[in-house]
Amino acid sequence: MLLICTASSGHNRALANRISELADTVGMANTVLDLTRVDLPLYTPARDDAGRPSALDEIEPIFESATGLFFCAPEYNGSIPPTLTNAIAWLSTQSADFRSLFNGKPMALATRSGGGGQKVLVAMRLQMSHLGGNVIGREIQTSASKALRDESVLAILNQLSSGMAS
């Protein structure tokens, strides 16, 4: 199952939904997870010491069951949006086997950003690689002046599918 994870409820949610529609057309099982709808508190060491937030019970199984991941995130101040970083921080400290959520899984990256989005793609590539993901080389970068090309998404889904099968 492909997890399409979005870190915003606006343009990147629409991007995630379109990726999901295209995955459906090629028969790829998928689910969209909108991190802006997950009620995770801001990660801090003190909150971590206080225990596991119940919202992790909602998202951890989704990450666990995913055999591939597709992240859609806008650029926030030249980097990754807080919703995505926060979820990863909580998963990394409160999951029984954090590495299994990311390690060895094929991953793709996409952005719809007002400022171009190249910096968030680089930042996500670095972080997802650090987590052990097999981040594919091709990525989606859209903006108000650069429309999404379905052919690009389908090519990426094909690459992810190949990685998910092995």
Residue pLDDT, tens place only, 29-68: 999 999 999 999 999 999 999 999 999 999 999 999 999 9
Query: Could you tell me the pLDDT band of residue 166, with boundaries at 50, 70 and 90?
Result: low
Q: How crowded is residue 99: how many other Cβ atoms within 10 Å of its Cβ?
A: 11
Among the residue ranges 19-23, 146-150, 162-166, the one predicted with the least confidence is 162-166
Q: What percent of the chain has pLDDT over 70?
A: 99
Say yes or no to pLDDT of 102 above 70.
yes
The pLDDT of 96-116, averaged and rounded, is 94
Q: pTM for the whole thing?
A: 0.96
User: Which residues, in sequence order, are CB contacts of 77 under 8 Å at separation 6+?
Assistant: none
DSSP letters of 83-139? HHHHHHHHHHHH-TTGGGGTTT-EEEEEEE-TT-SHHHHHHHHHHHHHTT-EE-S--
**Residue 10 lies in domain:** 2-165
The pLDDT of 94-108, averaged and rounded, is 95
User: Which residues, in sequence order, are CB contacts of 119 under 8 Å at separation 6+?
Assistant: 75, 78, 79
- What CATH code is carried by the domain that includes residue 25? 3.40.50.360
Say yes or no to pLDDT of 165 above 80.
no
Domains of the chain: total: 1
Name the phi and psi angles at 46, rounded to 5.
Answer: -65, -45
Higher per-residue pLDDT: 137 or 166: 137
**Could you give the C-alpha distances from 109 to 59, 94, 125, in angstroms and in order?**
19, 25, 8
- What confidence tens digit (pLDDT) does each residue in 64-94 have? 999 999 999 999 999 999 999 999 999 999 9
Residues in the chain: 166
